[in-house]
Amino acid sequence: MQNKVAIVTGAAGGIGAAVVHALRTRGVVVAAVDRNEVTLRETAAGAGVEAFPADVTSAESVESTVEAVEHALGPVDYLVNAAGVLRMGEARKLTDADWHDTFAVNTTGVFHMSRAVVNRMTQRQRGAIVTVASNAASTPRMSMSAYAASKAAATMFTKCLGLEVARDGIRCNLVAPGSTDTPMLSSMWHDETGPRTTVEGSLGAYRLGIPLGKIARPADIADAVVFLLSDQAAHITMHAMTVDGGATLGG
């Protein structure tokens, strides 16, 4: 992976920032993309990482950003779609804005960035894409309908894209995390019992706990992303790797 070029969205924090770090330690030149410009600059501090503030919900912003990345760093070899938002609430009580904002980032953002990058990758007949989805894409969760639906849509889009571009030597895979120690997870907790309930599960919410007995670190997810980008996964495409400590019982 030495000297390859990667774009990572959602790079300002959480899983995205962990992916940036994991790629950089392997010698990848990283274009860190996020709309939170202040935090993004902190993530991009250091050699081998360059910040490219952008809004993945805007096709124009994405296209100009990808063009700028290739002009500054060279042809993109890897794309990691890690940008994501969470809007909690019962399905029937979600607002139009909750639904729209969730899909704009989690689904349409994946479409915008994947399209812009793949259109360049096909000319070179090589490349690898990993979309960070969620185990909620295949397992119902209380108060997470918009998030789960958006991740399910992103999952199937990525698999369909992978089918279409396999002939061009481009692999498209997914990592589906479960509960991971990020601000997104902590935003779901109401008090100090949150971490324990996450690990033990909640009968009232029909939610299993985590058999491995611990919440994932962002680095755990990043390691899975790096594997799927690497040549070690050279014959893997259209695959969703669940990294949730067994929370969905292998589902």
145 pLDDT more than 80: yes
Long-range pairs for 55-63 at CB < 8 Å and ≥24 separation? 56/9, 56/83, 56/105, 56/108, 56/109, 56/110, 56/112, 56/113, 57/104, 57/105, 57/108, 57/109, 57/112, 58/112, 59/112, 62/109, 62/112, 62/113, 62/116, 63/112, 63/116
73 pLDDT more than 90: yes
Name residue 241's amino acid: M
Q: Tell me: the pLDDT tens digits for 108-126? A: 999 999 999 999 999 999 9
C-alpha 248/C-alpha 52 separation (Å) is 35
Q: Tell me: the pLDDT tens digits for 80-114? A: 999 999 999 999 999 999 999 999 999 999 999 99
Give the pLDDT band of residue 235 (cuts 50, 70, 90): very high
The sign of the CA dihedral 4, 242, 62, 54 is: negative
Give the pLDDT band of residue 46 (cuts 50, 70, 90): confident
Q: Tell me: the pLDDT tens digits for 159-171? A: 999 999 999 999 9
Q: Tell me: the pLDDT tens digits for 169-222? A: 999 999 999 999 888 887 877 788 788 888 989 898 899 999 999 999 999 999
Active site residues: 147
Tell me the average pLDDT of the chain: 96
Task: Report domain extents, the chain.
Answer: 5-180+217-243
Q: Exposed (0-12), middle (13-18) or buried (19+): which is 188, by Cβ within 10 Å?
A: middle
Residue among 27, 81, 17, 48 nearest 219 (CA) = 17
- CATH code for the part of the protein at 5-180+217-243: 3.40.50.720
